[in-house]
Amino acid sequence: AQSVTQLDSQVPVFEEAPVELRCNYSSSVSVYLFWYVQYPNQGLQLLLKYLSGSTLVKGINGFEAEFNKSQTSFHLRKPSVHISDTAEYFCAVSDMNYGGSQGNLIFGKGTKLSVKP
Amino acid sequence: NAGVTQTPKFQVLKTGQSMTLQCAQDMNHNSMYWYRQDPGMGLRLIYYSASEGTTDKGEVPNGYNVSRLNKREFSLRLESAAPSQTSVYFCASMTLGGTEYGYTFGSGTRLTVV
């Protein structure tokens, strides 16, 4: 079974600073990886996903993530954050061999990004 | 607009009452899911349906039942609500289609059990 660990529950950062939100996963099979963002009192919005190909994935709002298979990581980065990036971010994984329970999306516990002026 | 529709958006129940959360998708997806979100816990899978006519337990199924009424609809029922079921519930559907592989989430149902 897969699992996802988001290494930081809260990340405070000043506006225009770079940020990295860390995500590690464990799985016995190849996986698909996702990052979602949730603004206060709203639903989930897909930031980016890794399915195959280039290990550097670019998403919306200037975010990018790098898939590192050897380190089983999928860290999210942004070179310069804005106040409007304040939100909770979730890393999630599903395995590639769909059938039965496979294909279920497993979430990390989330990282709250707080951008201060 | 195509997507996943959840009803109701908000609900307050008394302990012991029952209710059904409705979910419908119009994207012809085979797989549908129910998650609950609690502070500091992320989203946890309650039940899923890999295809019409099948349902299976996820990580936290106790106190819930589900029905996959047809390909479009997947409902979640609380037979006897408990305060521990106070949560935000999300329904999702999934497509396997190549580069379009992904999950679409509803806007959530905020449930309070008093």
B27-72, pLDDT tens digit by residue? 888 899 999 999 999 999 999 998 888 999 999 999 999 999 899 9
Residue of B nearest to A110 (CA): B42
A5, A21 contact by CB (below 8 A) = no
Mean pLDDT of A68-82: 96
CA gap B106, B92 in Å, rounded? 6
Collect all residues of chain A within an 8 Å Cβ-Cβ radius of residue B105.
Answer: 43-44
CA gap A14, A113 in Å, rounded? 10
Residue-averaged pLDDT of chain B: 92
Collect all residues of chain B within an 8 Å Cβ-Cβ radius of residue A42.
Answer: 107
Query: What is the pLDDT at residue A102?
Result: 56
Phi-psi region of B108 (alpha: psi -120 to 50; beta: other; left: phi over 0): left
- Both tokens of B5, joined, read 């529709």
Out of A9, A46, A51, name the one closest to residue B99 (CB).
A51
Query: What is the pLDDT at residue A86?
Result: 97
Is the predicted pLDDT of residue A100 greater than 80, yes or no?
A: no
CA gap A47, A21 in Å, rounded? 13
Model confidence at A35, in pLDDT bands (50, 70, 90)? very high
Model confidence at A104, in pLDDT bands (50, 70, 90)? confident
Model confidence at A98, in pLDDT bands (50, 70, 90)? low
